[in-house]
Structure 1
Amino acid sequence: MYTRHIFKVRVTKISWVSKLSDNEFPMTVLEILRILYFSEGPKTSIELAKFLKNRGIDVDPRTVRYHLFHLEERGFIKRLGRKGAKLTERGVNEIRRLLIYERIGIPSIEIEKLITDSDYDINKNKGKIMVNAIMVPKDKYDAVVPLLLDISKTNVITSPLLAILDEKDSIWHFEVKEGYVGILGISSRTYDIIFQKSGICLQSTATGLYHLENNIPKGFVEIISHLGTTISPGELLIRGGYTSVHKVASTGSGYVTAAIKTFSSFRYDDTLRILEKLKKNNISGVAEHSSIIPENKRVNVMDKNKGYLVVYGGANYFAPIVETGISKKLEIARDLYEIQKMKEPEKVLK
């Protein structure tokens, strides 16, 4: 027999707002920011106090309100009356900075959250899937439409399906600013969700710059490992000006992003069945696949027992918008969105 001891941390109010710099936060405040960051909507002081208690921090709602008052003073949150409080853009940027070491690598804590929260059913083709997002100025929207229609006819994207968000609409921490239109497209990280729910461990190991010539895949010319980075490698390649997806759409030759995903070799037949189902659901974009990673492509001894997929990046859909200088407000694997609300581009681009 043994006695179970439960330890609680009792936190008292402290006047931190006038004493601490932006680089320092009491533990309670840091956890409040963390909870709000991973929440889909506003949270009340009572809800926050419950979340904090579950994390071993015993405070009452009045203490939470005290901290929220000072966080709002510094522009990190916005209080919405009885609805609760939510992070501002400054607050999102601040907590992402504070969590920088927890966000290294893929899957990061954000990606893990999205994979866990997804309820996509491959058999019914319903539920929430992972999406990329881009904001474009309303006065440049007409120039965006033909770019998206052209790229939707290629096979270098995950899916042609799109959704449109109007100004002030939001998903998680992506809020469309006044004077802008938000566009959502399916992320290639959706493969990870679907395979995991099908009992197959699919690992995204790297993303790179992939060469096509006359619509024939030629292979990678550059690769960025997913280990040791907090920014999507695909986002880096597109924003950095390495891609030429617009040229690929018009000539069949150029550079696009693609991801390498590995799985156990003995699940290859299951993998093919999943890919066939996804194709029927308007999700495709596979450049290469094999039950065995070729010896010249192995990076460690464990790769000899693995199969692999090379899938085109979902963000290739929006790359021409960045390449032509219309907008650089691209965010990859931004949130989840119901696939049944997404439509063929001809039906949503008006």
Structure 2
Amino acid sequence: MKEDIKVNCLRILRILSQADEPLSSREIAERLSTRGYPMSERTVRLYLARLDKEGFTKNLGKKGRLITELGKKEVEENSIFEKVSLLSSKIDRLTYLMTFDVHFKTGTVVINVSVMHHEVLKQNLEYIEAVFERGYGMGQLVTVFKAGETIGGITVPKDHIAVGTVCSVTLNGVLLHHGIPVTSLFGGLLELKSHKPYRFAEVIYYQGTSIDPLEVFIRSRMTDYSEAISSGNGKIGAGFREMPAESRSQVIEIAQRLEKVGLGGFMLIGWPDEPLLDIPVPAGQIGSVVIGGLNPIAIVEEKGHSVHSRALAALLDYERLFPYYKLKKYI
């Protein structure tokens, strides 16, 4: 395949991979245009015919096209350049796009999506609840997606269920909407002693990775949620943020409001120009430690079960969230 044809096909596949429903050639052309790649509907249809033939897309008639698993694999294998754009860019984009208003309790939040077999959720529900109960989850709210549903380009397979947890990037978005800029510095393994933050044992800076750090630590079996919820001396996922020193009082006020609506995620908020957990903070800034959104699901992998988790997976309306203790009605 010629290079220019391959590039255009990949652009179309990326758009389909990010859609939660089939798209028509007109819709694809419109989305290409907004991304700076103008293309006529007719040209899009020609590319789609090629993609259908190669098994990368599925023609659903008037409903439009869906990307196949083979198509998703093609996007993944050919997205090296996009990956190098790093996780920090995705954090900034979703921070800007989310619309949640803490006063009116409306709008979208950023969620993580974790897919597991239905029986796995049933067997591990008590551990998930324990993580939330100890305050190691990002707030108190979750959601579920049943088999056949698609969210963030992920379609839930038969006999499986997807649990959506609130991503800590939601905190960035809320603060930004109040005029407070946030710098996400790194994600790491936070060591606890007697249930209190002690130090960061391992960190991965967002500017240097294309994969969410917590995903890395979970898959590497470096977490210790079991001890964290029992003795209080384990390792959990957390992130480090920096904000203007002058915003400290307002940040604390917003954090309290977020707690009331089930989205509390701040573990520590530092003082101006002072290190936090031995992490140096630039002049004119304050540091903060925020809870990892994947924590409640990470314990399931820690127990040896197969879970496919994607951090910063999608934007979701706040109204679709519910308290974690209502998860039992879905098993």
TM-score w.r.t. the length of structure 1 is 0.86
**Residue 309, structure 1, aligned to residue 288, structure 2:** yes
- CA pair 222-53 structure 1, distance change in 2 beyond 3 A: closer
SS at match of 1:304: coil
Gaps of 5+ in 1: 1-15
Structure 2 distance, partners of 1:77, 1:347, is 37
- 1:349 alignment partner, one of 324, 328, 331: 328
Q: Which residue of 2 aligns with 1:328?
A: 307
Give the alignment of 1:152-191 within 5 angstroms: 152-191=132-171
8 Å Cα contact 1:212/1:248 also seen in 2: yes
Correspondence for 2:279 among 292, 297, 304? 297
Are the counterparts in 1 of residues 20 and 150 from structure 2 also a CA contact under 8 Å?
A: no
Q: Distance in 2 between the 1:155 and 1:293 partners?
A: 27
Structure-2 residue corresponding to 1:281: 261
TM superposition shift of 1:87: 2.2
- Distance apart, 1:150 and its partner CA: 1.4
Write the distance in 1 (CA, Å) between the matches of 2:13 and 2:224: 39
The reply on whether 1:101 has 2:78 as its aligned counterpart is no
Distance 1:254 1:51, change over 3 A: closer
> How many corresponding residue pairs?
326
Q: Residue by residue, what CA displacement relative to the aligned partner does 1:171-224 show, whole Å, maximum 9, x if unpaired?
A: 121211112111111111111111111111111110111111221221111111
Q: State the SS of the aligned residue for 1:34.
A: helix
Letter in 1 for 2:89: S
What residue number does 1:90 align with? 70
Mapping 1:21-170, distance limit 5 Å:
25-53=5-33, 57=37, 59-103=39-83, 104-109=85-90, 111-170=91-150
Counterpart Cα distance in 2 of 1:117 and 1:82: 30
CA distance in 2 between counterparts of 1:260 and 1:134 reads: 23
Aligned amino acid, residue 295 of structure 2: N
Distance 1:53 1:185, change over 3 A: closer
Percent same amino acid among aligned pairs? 25
- The alpha-carbon deviation at position 134 of structure 1 amounts to 1.2
Instruction: State how 1:3-22 maps to structure 2 within 5 Å.
Output: 16=1
Output the amino acid matched with 2:257. Answer: K
Q: State the match for 2:317 in structure 1.
A: 338
Between the aligned partners of 1:94 and 1:293, the Cα distance in structure 2 is: 47
| Counterpart residue identity of residue 285, structure 2 | K
Evaluate the alpha carbon distance shift between residue 54 and residue 175 of structure 1 in structure 2; reply closer, same or farther with a 3 A threshold: closer
Asked if the contact 1:162–1:186 (Cα under 8 Å) also holds between the matched residues in 2, the reply is yes
For the residue of structure 1 that corresponds to 2:322, the secondary structure is coil
Kindly state the Cα deviation for residue 58 of structure 1 after the two structures are TM-superposed: 5.3
Q: Which amino acid counterpart does residue 65 of structure 1 have in structure 2? A: R
How many angstroms does 1:50 deviate by? Answer: 3.5
Q: What is the CA–CA distance in structure 1 between the aligned matches of 2:125 and 2:265, rounded to whole Å?
A: 21
**Structure 1 residues 275 and 32, CA, compared in 2 at 3 Å: closer, same or farther?**
same
Provide the rounded CA distance (Å) in 1 between the counterparts of 2:218 and 2:162: 18
**2:267–2:289 CA contact under 8 A, matched in 1:** yes
CA offsets 1:2-36 (integer angstroms, 9 cap, x no match)? xxxxxxxxxxxxxx4xxx6xx98534323322333
Which structure shows the higher helix fraction? 2
Taking structure 2 as the reference length, the TM-score comes to 0.90
**Aligned 1:233-312 pairs, distance under 5 A:** 233-295=213-275, 297-298=279-280, 303-312=282-291
Q: Secondary structure at the match of 1:318?
A: helix
- The structure 2 residue matched to 1:205, chosen from 179, 185, 198, is 185
Letter in 2 for 1:214: S
Q: 1:6 aligns to what?
A: none
